[in-house]
Homo-oligomer: A and B are copies of this chain.
Amino acid sequence: MAKAWSLNEVAQHNVASDCWIIVESKVYDITEFLPSHPGGKQIILKYAGKDATAAYKPIHPENTLEKNLVEVKHLGFVDENAVAEIQEADANRKKTKDELRMEQAKLNKPPLKRVLTLQDMENVARDVLSYKASAYYSSAADDQTTHTENVRAFSRFFFHPRVLRPVSQCDPSTTILGCKSSLPIFISAAALAKLGHPLGEINITRGAGRTGVIQMVSTNASFSASDIAAARVSPTQPLFFQLYKKREDSEAEKLVKEVEALGYNAIFLTVDAIIAGRRDRDIKAPFVLEDQEKEVTKQQPSVEEPQDEGEDTLGTSGALVAANDVDMTWERTIPWLRSVTNLPIVVKGIQCVADAVLAAEAGVDGILISNHGGRQLEYSLPSIEVLYRLRMQRPDVFQRIEVHVDGGARRGTDILKALCLGATAVGIGRPFLYAQSAYGDAGVVKIVKILEREIVYGMQLLGASSVRDLVPEMVERINWQPELPMLAKL
């Protein structure tokens, strides 16, 4: 019979060279795993020798630890006293100011019928989310310029609407990579949905199934690809898979074959996030929360040890480089992926015309023009601007492969602009994260319904009965900058 550990015994193993943690009453020795933790070792060491359940659960798919059992050693369970002590500590824990704020916000949450726009939904979510989750979801690279400009860029495209065209029969549906979609949109992959709601990505799967739109599932989702496949509303509900390719081809091949077997319908190979994004707001969130709890005596030592001068953060970045394939190439990686799967392949993260052309020549099935929601390279051009340049400079590409786009679309009109310029469909990411955080799968359905209304309404007023009627002549890029309403609390 396995040993039952006391809290005291576990607490002895609290350094990097000898590090145990407790997750849901199980005791693990993670000493060997520490250096390769994708999120860096610092974040784990805070829980060395302690119960880490609260921090672990909203981020990791179930059985994540079990899947690393080469490096992670399961040492058995804690004893009964430990269970009680953990529960009591949890119950007695004084709520933080942020938790109290959230509780109040949840009481005041408006009924769904008051949510008329995607911005309304984001506003609700930003109120009810923890500061940490809100900062993670909303954060983007550096000063968030590309993130902000993704949204603003759409405002520089205006319509040439056509009148006196019959539009009583208006059909917004389309086909994406061979799959039917009720609308010319899909749900862009976004990780860590559990941060906002216990059912996380599952909410999205259910909402997508009920409304006939397609979800793209991230390698880094907080549920596993199989959990999500299992949550489909019907066995034929399509799903796309966003692949973060690991350095080892074999490891990546295993993952691709797994999702193909699970019935996923396409592989989106991520090429714009070969190294870990670094987002100031996200990184600063713990400082903000710390200050919030602190009493007025803010006196701190102002001199620091030399190792605090930046090496640490470069180290985290290094860890992730180690995990992902930083040396992918057009010549090597695309043929390899083609060789291991029969699914359609889309290159996700195209950011300039030259690479769109290379993709068409490489024989993939599509591209997703995307800058990762502004979360990777600051000053990458807004996605709709890249799409526009592709339309102006290389219209032939649209004949050869499917062109998709994501980043910044928040209105039906945004989606219609992209379609006029030649996009097959537009990915929507953060709005679904916010929706499921605030209202679970009902929120996801609501987002689709809002967009359906806005898209159909826009098509009719543009004089279009089907997505085929949306043509480049209906859009003009203007040479001034419209005045926009204040964006939500960026």
Contacts and interface: CB of A to CB of B under 8 A. Distances in A.
Given A106-B302, A108-B299, A143-B485, A377 B164 contact: no
A158 interface: yes
Given A351-B159, A351-B161, A377-B461, A328 B480 contact: no
A304 interface: yes
A149 B461 CA distance: 19
A481 B411 CA distance: 22
A272 B284 CA distance: 40
Contacts of A69: none
A413 B163 contact: no
A84 interface: no
B166 A326 contact: yes
Interface in A149-169: 149, 152, 155-168
25 contacts: A113-B312, A142-B454, A143-B411, A143-B484, A145-B484, A149-B483, A157-B379, A159-B379, A161-B272, A162-B355, A163-B355, A164-B329, A164-B333, A166-B328, A167-B326, A309-B446, A309-B449, A313-B453, A314-B452, A317-B453, A354-B473, A376-B461, A377-B461, A378-B413, A480-B481
Interface in A35-77: none
Contacts of A303: 439, 442
A428 interface: no
Contacts of A178: none
Interface string A407-451: 000010100010000000000000000000001001001101110
Nearest to A483: B148
Interface stretch (A5-13, A227-235, A273-281): A273-281
A135 interface: no
Given A166-B328, A449-B311, A485-B143, A161 B300 contact: no
A350 B157 CA distance: 18
A448 B159 CA distance: 33
Contact of A380 (B145, B158, B352): B158
A309 B452 contact: no
A271 interface: yes
Interface of A: 106-114, 116-117, 142-145, 148-149, 152, 155-168, 271-272, 274-275, 278, 280, 283-284, 287, 298-304, 306, 308-314, 317, 321, 326-330, 333-334, 347, 349-355, 358, 376-381, 385, 411, 413, 417, 439, 442, 445-446, 448-450, 452-454, 456-458, 460-462, 473, 476, 478-485
A442 B321 contact: no
Contacts of A327: 166-168
A162 to B, nearest CB: 6
B326 A278 contact: no
Given A157-B379, A158-B381, A310-B449, A349 B163 contact: yes
Contact of A377 (B159, B301, B439): B159
Instruction: List the 10 shortest-distance A-B pairs measured between CB atoms, nearest first.
Output: A310-B449, A160-B352, A166-B327, A377-B461, A163-B271, A168-B326, A109-B302, A161-B351, A113-B308, A158-B381
